[in-house]
Amino acid sequence: MAKSIGVTLSERILAGLIVDHAIVGDLRSFPAIRADAPVEMFPEEAQGGLIELHTDALVETICDQVMAVAGGATDVSAVGVALPGFIRNGVVEDAPNLPQLKGARMGELLSTQLKSAGIPAPVSIMNDADAVAAGLASRHGKLDTTVRVWTLGIGIGYGQYPIDGGIWENGHSVVSLDEKERFCGCGGVGHMEGIMGHRAMRLRFLDMEPEEVFAAAKEGDARCLDFKKLWHRALAAATASAIHMGGAGRFFLTGFNVRFVDLPMLKDYVGQMVKMSPLQGYSFELVEDEADTRVIGAGVTAEQAAAG
């Protein structure tokens, strides 16, 4: 039986033991919050807590979680760690939402520490949205097809399975030419994440939380309704660009802010932007943001990398 360990790091660290593409036992969470708890239910002091940890502390914490789920097992074949940001060859080249990781050679750091702790399995580092795509492919029995996914959370991620070497920082797609659109964590102007990201929404509406904004839009508040339209147009614009570059097909939408998606509004906007008939065979599917899916995706990706 294939045995791997999957780890994801975004708003928190989650780790699990994976046997034959299924979680065995309980997921570990750091901070120690119920693994299936949504971010909006975190205690205030836990939200964004990882940004306070320096790189060495993050590496040590990740290794602690891996050791805990391994439970002394010596036959782990691979460890997959999914991180936010621009990942290449085990190096975090940039990570706007966890800036302390920029330049960190996470593959090398984790491999060295895990080996010294008795887990010599190869370590694979990947973008967290790519792990979601791999997890969805595994859970939906689509490991032989292409899967594309938007993750709507603190930032905006775009994942694709199989991973084919692209950069896929599509959450930073330019969807506005308004010079005032400067809310993206990377500092870029007009980015999708600067409109749709949870952090960006909190900066834009200092007097309201994102869920209050969308609730007010539903009640007809003009300012909030205008923003709801902008939010959906941003998602439509980035999706239309992905369709024009990569073709039609199904797009999965997940992440804790998928709750804000109004599918009829999104489809209407995309329909206004994609007019070539060969590209109109696209569809959307909303999927619950399940911790298991992310962790399985990280483990499956690592297994495939270890198998060559």
- pLDDT tens, residue order, the chain (308 aa): 679 999 999 878 999 999 988 999 999 999 876 555 555 544 444 445 787 889 999 999 999 999 999 998 888 999 999 998 899 999 999 988 888 999 999 999 999 999 999 999 999 999 999 999 999 999 888 778 889 999 999 899 999 998 776 777 899 999 999 999 999 999 999 999 999 999 999 999 999 999 999 999 999 999 999 999 999 999 999 999 999 999 999 999 999 999 999 999 999 999 999 999 999 999 999 999 899 999 999 999 999 999 87
Final residue before a domain boundary, out of 93, 126, 159: 126
| Whether residues 33 and 154 fall in one domain | no
In a domain, 230, yes or no: yes
Asked if residue 292 is part of any domain, the answer here is no
Q: Which helix (H) or strand (E) holds 82?
A: strand 78-83
State the residue range of the domain holding 93.
Answer: 3-126
Same domain, 119 and 159: no
CA distance 119 to 62: 13
Say whether 183 sits in a helix, a strand or coil.
coil
Query: Domain for residue 304, yes or no?
Result: no
Whether residue 171 lies inside any domain: the answer is yes
Residue 76 sits in the same domain as residue 200 = no
CATH code of the domain covering residue 66: 3.30.420.40
**Would you state the pLDDT for residue 2?**
78
Residue 294 lies in a domain: no
CA–CA separation, 83 and 99 (whole Å): 12
* 181 and 264 housed in the same domain: yes
Phi/psi for 133 (5° steps) reads: -60, -45
Q: How many domains does the chain divide into?
A: 2
Helices 128-139 and 291-307 cross at an angle (nearest 10°) of 90
In a domain, 301, yes or no: no
20, 1 in Cβ contact below 8 A?
A: yes
Phi/psi for 296 (5° steps) reads -60, -45
Domain presence at residue 297: no
User: What element of type H or E holds 231?
Assistant: helix 222-246
Q: What is the pLDDT of residue 39?
A: 54
Model's pTM, two decimal places?
A: 0.88
Q: Say whether both 113 and 159 belong to one domain.
A: no
Same domain, 146 and 259: yes
